[in-house]
Structure 1
């Protein structure tokens, strides 16, 4: 009876994981050095303490690792497999009666282990790290937000819509505020105010120079008020559509936030859906690229590891380029975010199947 797991499997899996983590460690150190050199002037200018700086780079590591996970799992596979092929270790293994399908077993195991780690990290660990990174940037790097976007429209409920021309966070004042209550296609009430300010303690809006228009069937009334206090289910922070926020939320938070933004009629909902689906698609990309890398690098060719690495970098760059292209196509041309995120995996999955069949035939 053949063993499910042998010494050679353990050897390959150990090589796979050690090469990947070594490559990631080197990448993290280089990325931290580059990022520090770019931000050191801000650290000095804003007098950032050593403790928060160290905590920032502690969170920066999972951020950069998650960003380039598919690239480095592919390069790690190419690198150590090519070394084995150059030393004829793979030829000896296959000559001993091990099929290529059986030879790939430790690669599958390694990619599944790394995929599970990436899956957990993408949905929970990396968003928390990104939140800490953004908090540090807000304190010591980014200039403080002075005003919201212009001409903001929000759908707070199926019957309530608000509009504000802009909001100044320093003065806590917004200009040209409008709240409309509708029933079907009929406008029931429209509140217009020259200025609006938010009370953070009472969580209510104070409107100034107010005009209230009410419509009750054939009867229409107009009321003028110097001041009006109302509670609306939004805050000044909701007026700013910050795209960086989607990377700082865990997946359950992101799902709830996306649904709320969809109800409010935000045009940027696709970006949040792409982020949500990407967190799952990326670990699967690691598995697919591992299979491609193993099939390519297992053949001994002239040029050795250098040729394999060059080919691996080209293929991984094409994958990331295609991934960005489909995301752009989704946000600008209306392609479903789910389809846009998984199209690169589907295409490169077909490539992996073709390469695998060429090896076993």
Structure 2
């Protein structure tokens, strides 16, 4: 059964494909770890990070950095080993033996599917867990401690209730200029204002100080002053802290739940999280498309050999990253749907793949 689908040529190309890819990824991981360690060594020494914790950090750093550049390295790996085959006239010999170019591409498809499945699994579960461990390590030994949130934080707790806080100080444990508004359509029915707001993490409630309560019931309006007031609201101080790095440390189910919650709260940054969500699926498909392009480009023996093919590969990799960055910017700043933004580079390069494929089979 195995030999019906995998011939010697398939195993030969597939072996070259996978070994070249994993070798390139290994080299990248080693270089990235050395560079990252050299940049963080002062913080690690000053914060007395244990050797075991540092080792665990780099164990998690490897899948994080390799997943980031997965499509580009699968593309460059394809060009590198295919170009070597073309230079040694192995491609010409294969096609001259009666193997069609479509049949020649079969092991490339097998390899890209194998790596794509690994990438899907890693992107949705393994890499987010690794990023969470990296974030926890960075908070403890590298990053500066968070002192306060950004100014003028707004949250929508429900379709009819909103809160505002000028800022929250994590060291002192209180927020300034707290406001809670309850709406009924366009009518403001209740507004609670407090000079300071303290959060009790054990009771999960807020203690408001120097409180002004304004209630509006049609034409009747009341104003009440209180020294303090304890209330339960569906948010914590961490919800006021806008940190887009958190999206990379969530598994896909967690990211879906968080995105739904942020949509309800009316957060303007929700597109950042939706881009991260859709990119986890789009990236493995990009690897498949770039594999086909790389095989079509590098299978021709040209003057300049592998150097020319690698130069073309690097240029096309840069174009892919540029298209991806532009589309993400349009999504976050111009309101483009995140799903469309993430898949635009794939669609563009799919057309490029079709062009090179048709050109090659002629």
Matches within 5 A, 1:276-315: 276-315=277-316
The offset of 1:332, in angstroms, is 1.1
TM-score, normalised relative to structure 2: 0.98
Please state whether the residue corresponding to 2:82 is helix, strand or coil: helix
Residue in 1 aligned with 2:153? 152
CA-CA distance at 1:3 after TM superposition: 4.3
* 1:78-227 alignment runs, 5 A limit: 78-227=79-228
Determine helix, strand or coil for the equivalent of 1:319.
helix
CA RMSD of aligned residues (A): 0.9
Q: Distance in 2 between matches of 1:234 and 1:80?
A: 54
Secondary structure of 2:119's counterpart equals: helix
How does 1:227-306 map onto structure 2 within 5 Å?
227-306=228-307
1:253-279 Cα deviation digits (max 9, x unpaired): 101101111111111011011101100
Deviations 1:8-28 (A, max 9, x none): 101100100000000000000
Aligned partners of 2:146 and 2:318: how far apart in 1? 35
Alignment coverage as a number of residue pairs? 360
Give me the whole-angstrom Cα distance separating, in 2, the residues matched to 1:223 and 1:207: 14
Query: Structure 1: where are the runs of 5+ without partners?
Result: none
Gaps of 5+ in 2: none
Question: Following superposition, which runs of at least 4 residues in structure 1 exceed 2 angstroms of deviation?
Answer: 2-5
Q: Distance in 1 between matches of 2:324 and 2:155?
A: 31
Provide the secondary structure at the position in 2 that maps to 1:267: coil
- Name the residue aligned to 2:10: 9
Instruction: Give the Cα–Cα distance (whole angstroms) in 2 for the partners of residues 359 and 212 of structure 1.
Output: 75
1:26 and 2:27 are equivalent in the alignment: yes
SS at match of 1:174: strand
Q: Secondary structure at the match of 2:5?
A: coil
Q: Deviations over 1:7-52 (max 9, x none)?
A: 1101100100000000000000000000001111111111000011
SS at match of 1:167: strand
Secondary structure of 1:196 counterpart: strand
Q: How far did residue 5 of structure 1 move?
A: 2.3
SS of match in other structure, 2:149: coil
Q: Please report how far the alpha carbon of residue 294 of structure 1 lies from its aligned counterpart in structure 2 after TM superposition.
A: 0.0
The equivalent residue for 1:333 is: 334
